[in-house]
Amino acid sequence: MSDEIVKYSNQFNNQALRKFTALDLDLLMAIASRVRDKGTDEVAFTFEELKRLAGLQRNMTNDEFAKQIANVNRRLLALNFEFQNEEHDIIQFALFAGFVTSPTKRTLTVSVNSRFSFLLNDLTSQFTRFELAEFTALRSSYAKECYRRLKQYRQTGVWKVSLEDFRRLLDVPKSYRPSEINKYVLKPIEEELGPLLNLKVHRKYLKKKPGRGRASLVGFEFEFDPEKVPGGAPAPRVELSGSVVTDEARKSLRDVSKTPVPDPVGAGRGTGARP
């Protein structure tokens, strides 16, 4: 399982996978890892193979697992995948042309829609690549969805995204205020991806004129350790936005100012020592 690689065109990252659970995402990426470079040919999985690829831990009956698999495709069918080609034509289609789940045979057979095959075949540039095992080990669906977007920028180590696009791509409820985004979305991302990728999340604010209230959150810049390509030239360095760097510097100064400075003289007097 550790050798399984997920690889697809970066255009797939522009699609928000709405209402997908963490298990749905694991199953989808497990399927994607095996249909890659198969064109529109049918690809068959046994339930046992698919469970192993998805890193499924809990016990499920064949009927339960079949329903779970079918739910993945139901959610995909509800999305209406949409892409623009070089001529700026808007193309909408279902992801899989065939998706047959058999509880009695304990198999799943899929074939990729011909309109979608370019996203998974003959990928030489502009693609996202990551290890399936690393993806399935993540618990939070927000961490998983953020992880695969970060992997699009794996060689530069910076992903810049507006608040509006972040909400759309990670399917963040529109009702979430910044404080709730911090608690329910960014916290699990930082807890899981922080140690894994040395991730730092920088908030980007729009400064308002004096007397107009607090600055408003407008986006994020995710900074993490870039991947090194063996024998390849390093990717061009991507700098953080000036406003983000300034805010971080100010925050550091505020943190320093809040830290009490020990008074060696006072401490000495408290112990009876002489100045």
Confidence band, pLDDT 50/70/90 cuts, at residue 32: very high
More confident residue, 42 or 232: 42
Specify the DSSP class assigned to residue 139. -
- pLDDT for 123-133, tens place per residue? 778 899 999 99
Which whole-number Å values give the CA distances from 35 to 23, 45, 55, 242, in the listed order?
Answer: 19, 10, 18, 42
Task: Look at residue 94 in the predicted model and tell me its pLDDT.
Answer: 81
| 3-state SS class at 131 | strand
The tokens for 75 are: 């959610």
Specify the DSSP class assigned to residue 118. G
Give the largest CA-CA distance in the chain: 87
More confident residue, 260 or 170: 170
- pLDDT for 69-115, tens place per residue? 999 999 988 886 777 767 777 777 788 889 999 999 999 999 988 87
The tokens for 88 are: 């700026």
More confident residue, 51 or 233: 51
Specify the DSSP class assigned to residue 121. S
244, 206, 207, 237: which is closest to 222 by C-alpha? 244
Mean pLDDT of the residues in the chain? 85
Measured between alpha carbons, how far apart are the two ends of the chain, in Å?
Answer: 67
Instruction: Please list, in sequence order, all residues whose beta carbon lies within 8 angstroms of the beta carbon of residue 169, skipping any fewer than 6 positions away.
Output: 13, 14, 16, 145, 149, 161
CB-side exposure of 175: number of CA atoms within 13 Å? 0
